[in-house]
Amino acid sequence: MRENLFRRFTFKDVLIMLAVAVVYFTAGKLGLKLAFVNASATAVWPPTGIAIASLLILGLRFWPAIFIAAFLVNITTAGSLPSTIGIAIGNTLEGLVGAYLVSKFANGRETFNSPPNIFRFALLAGVLSTMVSATIGVSSLVLNGLAQLSEFGSVWITWWLGDLGGALIVAPLLIILSNNISISWNFKKTIETFFLFFLLVFVSSMIFFSQEKAVSITSHPYLIFPILMWIGFRLGQKATIIATFLLAAIATFATLNLLGPFTGPIQNDSLLLLQIFMGVTTISALILSSAILEREIAQNELNLRQKEKAEFLALAAHQLRTPLATLRWNIETLLETPLNSPVKKKLDSMYSSNLRMIHLVKDLLSIQRMDADKVGSKPEKINPLVVIAEVYKEYGTFAQKKDVALNPVNKVGKIPLITFNIHEFKEIMVNLISNAIKYNKPGGSVDITITAKSRFITMDIIDTGVGIPPKEQGKIFSQFYRTENALIKDPQGTGLGLYLVKFFVERRKGKVWFESKENLGTTFHLEIPQS
């Protein structure tokens, strides 16, 4: 972060610095009320988190607000002018070092978006920068006779752990709340939020306000972990950091009143143990919530890429479909006129290539429907016999070329309407009928039988073609899979047709299966619910 630390301030900047200084000063005065080992050293020091967060969010040039507030906190509490200046310098450097290191090595304000950066934040802002303040501050106390050299270690540990708690608990709260992380609310989410926070308050109160001295179930603070994990999974990062801060407030209040699992004979030691617990708890909860956030971001990016792909496929397929259909109609018209053999052969080749392109476009459109699920959301009542008649008409010329008979549909009972998307049902019929023609033998036939039953209709599409080898029958509905004999018959296929058939049928609560004998033919069975 390259920034002019002494750039001229605007009036708005001055107001912002004043607000930061007031918040820092207030938190500092509250923190020093808990100073037990020395009037200037406390185990609870939220201003560290305020300083690091403010300089990360606003910029390093706002350091004067930290210096002035730190100076006023200490000069109005205890100590001499030289020691107060030394402490203020240490507190300011702590914020500057922490914010700079996090910006340079842990992605700045976005540090809580990934677990590795959270570890870096904990090390750089939590452990290293707080050592600066503790070392300069305690040294100032000793040099000015406000602490004994023999007390250096105990005062330093208290100072450092107090600052560490502020860096790990308060700074994440302010940074995450300042980031633009959207939260989608609905009635169920609101009820769940109230329930989880009620559960958090209830369990944490049960743990930290317990007066039992003997070991019991209520004396174990790790009981709060499942609730924090639940909040992280269900409510996201903002709710997680608010929950940990609420937990810290409850636990600190209880410990100050000599209650809870961290209470001991020395109150300062009790607060230090609590700070360690809360620091570990906060970082653990943030790592979990950031892993979930990372997954959500990756999923959103994937959804965006899939949407772009679907839009491209739809555009390309629709642009190609009309000219290909026109070309097919013209070729079929020419094939019906008397032609000499060389010209007819070329037109046959053009017709086959045109059909392959039409099938490819059809598959592209089907994939687009599957990805976007646009067409599949609009089922309607349709007559299956009408759709089959349309497909018969479209593939009549193709069947004649292949010398395959498309026999009339055999109807058993009164065939009812079915509820299906018409595009998807036609796609099913096109795939099954065109395959029955394509993989048939010269002189073969295609028969369709439709039977009306109580709650559904059954359809049997029967061909006398090459069949499906037994070893490949288990893979026939797999995406992009094609059997060996199909590759010999038509090396240009996509292998998507039967996969799409199964997908569309099962989406409408139907069933599809087949029976096949190699070199004798295949029968595909469909079971589709009635309207």
The candidate with the shortest Cα–Cα distance to 238, out of 187, 298, 285, is: 285
Could you tell me the pLDDT band of residue 213, with boundaries at 50, 70 and 90?
Answer: low
DSSP state at residue 530: B
Q: What is the mean pLDDT of residues 54-74?
A: 95
127-131, 184-188, 265-269, 335-339: which has the highest mean pLDDT? 127-131
Which letter does DSSP use for residue 41 in this model? B
pLDDT of residue 192: 92
For the segment 77-116, what is each residue's pLDDT rounded down to a tens digit? 887 899 999 999 999 999 999 999 999 999 999 999 889 9
Q: What is the DSSP string of 94-130?
A: HHHHHHHHHHHHS-GGGGGGSHHHHHHHIIIIIIIHH
* Cα 362 from Cα 94, distance rounded (Å): 64
Rounded mean pLDDT of 43-63?
Answer: 96
Of residues 530 and 38, more confidence is placed in 38
> Span 509-516, mean pLDDT?
94
Residue 174 pLDDT: 96
Contact residues for 447 (Cβ-Cβ < 8 A; gap 6+)? 407, 410, 460, 461, 462, 463
402-427: average pLDDT:
91
Residue 372 in this model has a pLDDT that exceeds 60:
no
316-338: average pLDDT = 74
Q: pLDDT at position 79, please?
A: 77
For 194, the enclosing helix (H) or strand (E) is: helix 187-208
Return the minimum-mean-pLDDT range out of 73-87, 202-216, 476-490. 476-490
Buried b (16+ CB within 10 A) or exposed e, 59-88: bbbbbbbbbbbbbbbbbeeebeeebbbbbb
- What pLDDT, on the 0 to 100 scale, is given for residue 313? 66
| pLDDT bucket at 317, cuts 50 / 70 / 90 | low
Q: Is 409 left (phi over 0), alpha (psi -120 to 50) or beta?
A: beta
Q: Which helix (H) or strand (E) holds 489?
A: helix 484-489
**Number of Cβ within a 10 Å radius of residue 516:** 20
Res. 451: pLDDT tops 50:
yes
Higher pLDDT, 388 or 311: 388
- Range with lowest mean pLDDT among 28-37, 254-263, 343-352, 448-457: 343-352
Q: Is the dihedral of CA 173, 178, 179, 184 positive or negative?
A: positive
Q: How far is CA 234 from the centre of its chain?
A: 12
Tokens representing residue 365 in the block? 């459109």
Q: Are 524 and 473 in contact (CB under 8 A)?
A: no
Helices first, then strands: H and E counts in the chain: 18, 8
Using the predicted structure, report yes or no on whether residue 311 has a pLDDT greater than 80: no
pLDDT above 70 covers a percentage of the chain that reads: 88
Find out whether 261 and 218 touch, Cβ atoms under 8 Å: no
Decide if pLDDT at 394 tops 50. Answer: yes
Amino acid at 284: S
DSSP bridge partners of 460:
449, 525
Burial 174-191 (b: 16+ CB within 10 A, else e): bbbeeeeeeeeeeeeeee
Looking at residue 298, its pLDDT comes to 82
What average pLDDT score do residues 319-347 get?
77
The model's confidence at residue 126, banded by pLDDT at 50, 70 and 90, is very high
Phi, psi dihedrals of residue 439, rounded to the nearest 5°: -100, 20
Q: Are 304 and 190 in contact (CB under 8 A)?
A: no
Provide mean pLDDT across the span 377-406: 89
CA dist 520 → 445, 459, 472, 504 (Å):
12, 20, 16, 27
Neighbouring C-beta atoms of residue 58, cutoff 10 Å:
17
Backbone φ and ψ of 459, nearest 5° = -130, 135
Contact 455, 530 (CB under 8 A): yes
Q: What percent of the chain has pLDDT over 90?
A: 58
How many Å apart are CA 69 and CA 88, to the nearest integer?
8
Q: Tell me the average pLDDT across 409-436.
A: 91
Q: How would residue 130 be classed by pLDDT, with cut points 50, 70 and 90? A: very high
Burial of 460 (0-12, 13-18, 19+ CB in 10 A): middle
pLDDT, position 488: 65
Find all residues with CB under 8 Å of 305, minimum gap 6, and list them: none
**Using 50, 70 and 90 to split pLDDT, how confident is the model at 143?**
very high
pLDDT for the residue numbered 376: 43
- pLDDT band at 375; cut points 50, 70, 90: very low
Q: Say whether pLDDT at 218 is over 80.
A: no
